[in-house]
Amino acid sequence: MLTLEEARAAILAEVTPAAATEMTSLAQAHGRFVARELRARVDNPAFDNSAMDGYALRVADLLAAGFVLPRRGECRCGDAPGRLAAGTTMRIFTGAPLPEGADTVVIQEDIKLEGDTVVFPKTVQPGSHLRRRGEDFHQDDVLYQPGRRLSAYDLALLSAAGVAQIPVYVSARVLVVATGDELVAPGAPLRPGQIYESNRLATILLLRELGMDAVDGGTVRDEPAALRALLKSSADFDFVITSGGASVGDHDLVKQVFAEIGQIKFWKVKIKPGKPIAFGRVGTRTHFFALPGNPVSSLVTFKLFVEPALIAWHHGIPHLPHLAATATNEFRRHPGRTEFLRAHLVSENGKLMATALRGQGSHMLGPLRETNGFIRVEADSAGFKPGETVMAVPLNTEFS
């Protein structure tokens, strides 16, 4: 049985990265993965400009005039102010171009107006309150490398850099299927022994959050013929994700049928929840994940294994953040597997606090109402006590 790290390494070694690319507009590029170097088309700032509202001047003129200069004109954003007349000062506003010949801006709070004359303090520092052309980045500077997943902040930067069209990798096409005779769609009446299916919806939504082209394949019964038909039709997909049928029961057929049609790279990982997970390939294109049927196991294994595979497929570098946190309660267990506890993370007085939630069974969805992260418990650990340092894996940035 593979460890968590061994399983992740085996998956990433098997991922065949995307080759197809497409161009997309800046407005449609949020969450997409960059396919080629992105370079700035302009300098930023595009010209020397004022960082404050105040007065532009030449320090040599100021010293020669005894810190008193006549005011001549003003410069607003969007103006082309021309040259500063020798021996004068010009009113200037934040972001406005610095007039030619000026080398300093004095903020308006530090001066005194006497009619059309400006009296300056004797503490003026040359070069103050200026934003120099290109001090942020220059035209043709490389801003992003292939594999970068673009955030709203990235797109703001690219917009300022004059980039309108972005080459991105095509989004992975992913088929999502739930397996099991006991599964019923929410809203339908339940017969004895049946349960409502929830894994498929969660998986599809997580995929869409990552920008994937998620396709709902519905529910497949625990019948070898139906599973064979599913896998044989997978050639049109980059990834196929099933939930259920990956364990060792007589009716857990996904792994069995998959072995007939594809190649299983591994089955079972030394983690909790999520031990019965299978990964492999079908043909040259399709990556296959058989996730556990228990809802929490399915969600955890998606985060630990499927998400990094999808990022790698888009030429990105997967990263699972771990933050040191202080445990607020006790958790004891028998060592054996690396365990991921549903947890509530909160920041208190600059410290990250982690509470292991009640109800850690892999079938128990109730704790998800408060879950915003995991506590990682190593395989050789017997747990932790209140006040001890634990490793937290945040699922979002809302620690409240």
Rounded CA separation 269/335 (Å): 15
Rounded CA separation 117/327 (Å): 65
The gap from C-alpha 93 to its chain's centroid, in whole angstroms, comes to: 37
Q: Residue 388 falls within a domain, yes or no?
A: yes
Q: Residue 288 falls within a domain, yes or no?
A: yes
As given in the structure block, the two tokens for residue 141 are 């500077």
Cα–Cα distance list, 75 to 49, 84, 131, 212, 352 (Å): 10, 10, 15, 48, 48
In terms of residue numbers, what domain contains 155?
Answer: 22-43+138-169
Q: Residue 318 falls within a domain, yes or no?
A: no
Which pLDDT tens digit goes with each residue over 322-372?
A: 999 999 999 999 999 999 999 999 999 999 999 999 999 988 999 999 999
| Residues 235/286, Cβ–Cβ less than 8 Å | yes
Residue-wise DSSP of 69-98: EEEEEEE-TT----BPPTT-EEEE-TTPBP
Which pLDDT tens digit goes with each residue over 145-197?
A: 999 999 999 999 999 999 999 999 999 999 999 988 889 989 999 999 999 99
What is the pLDDT averaged over residues 264-274?
92
CATH of the domain at 27: 3.90.105.10
What is the pLDDT averaged over residues 25-42?
97
Q: Are residues 231 and 361 in the same domain?
A: no
The gap from C-alpha 201 to its chain's centroid, in whole angstroms, comes to: 21
Q: Which of 313, 338, 355 is the last residue of a domain?
A: 313
Q: Residue 399 falls within a domain, yes or no?
A: no
Q: Are residues 385 and 266 in the same domain?
A: no
| Residues 18/36, Cβ–Cβ less than 8 Å | no
CATH of the domain at 390: 2.40.340.10
Lowest-confidence region among 36-45, 362-371, 378-387: 362-371
Total number of domains constituting the chain: 4
Q: Are residues 213 and 122 in the same domain?
A: no
Packing angle between helix 224-232 and helix 254-261, nearest 10 degrees? 50
Q: Residue 400 falls within a domain, yes or no?
A: no
Which pLDDT tens digit goes with each residue over 200-229?
A: 999 999 999 999 999 999 998 888 888 888
Closest by CA position to 31, among listed 211, 183, 207: 211
State the CB neighbour count (10 A cutoff) for residue 317.
11
Rounded CA separation 326/76 (Å): 52
CATH of the domain at 74: 2.170.190.11
Q: Residue 62 falls within a domain, yes or no?
A: yes
Q: Are residues 372 and 390 in the same domain?
A: yes
CATH of the domain at 213: 3.40.980.10
What is the pLDDT averaged over residues 386-390?
98
